[in-house]
Amino acid sequence: MEHSIYLYILVAAAVSFLIRVLPLTLIRKKIQNPFLRSFLYYVPYVTLAVMTFPAMVTAPQIPLAGILALLIGIAAAWKGLNMVGIAVLCCVVVFVCETAAVYFM
């Protein structure tokens, strides 16, 4: 059996399209169920967390720098800092930790 990259791309595009279109065509009225509404409200945040958390811990050369940046980012968010400020702060924390590790180790 010959594998075609075009077939794979077509299948991936069709699945992606169906995932986005089916909810719009099947659910036309407002969702009344409070559990389902709260579940759908938190889906974007959970998806973002699932994608970024492993990268924060594994991307730096020193995993402890990523964990420290995560904790400082959580504290900054708790204090009300905006997303851009938190991102910059976390990048600075990782940069300082890794730079200090190079000079002191």
Digit-coded pLDDT (tens) for 15-41? 999 988 888 787 788 888 899 888 888
Domain locations in the chain as residue ranges: 5-104
Strands in 14-105 per DSSP E: none
Determine if the pTM surpasses 0.75: no
Each residue's pLDDT tens digit, 71-105: 999 999 999 999 899 999 999 999 999 999 888 87
Is residue 98 classed exposed, middle or buried when 0-12, 13-18 and 19+ CB atoms within 10 A define those classes? middle
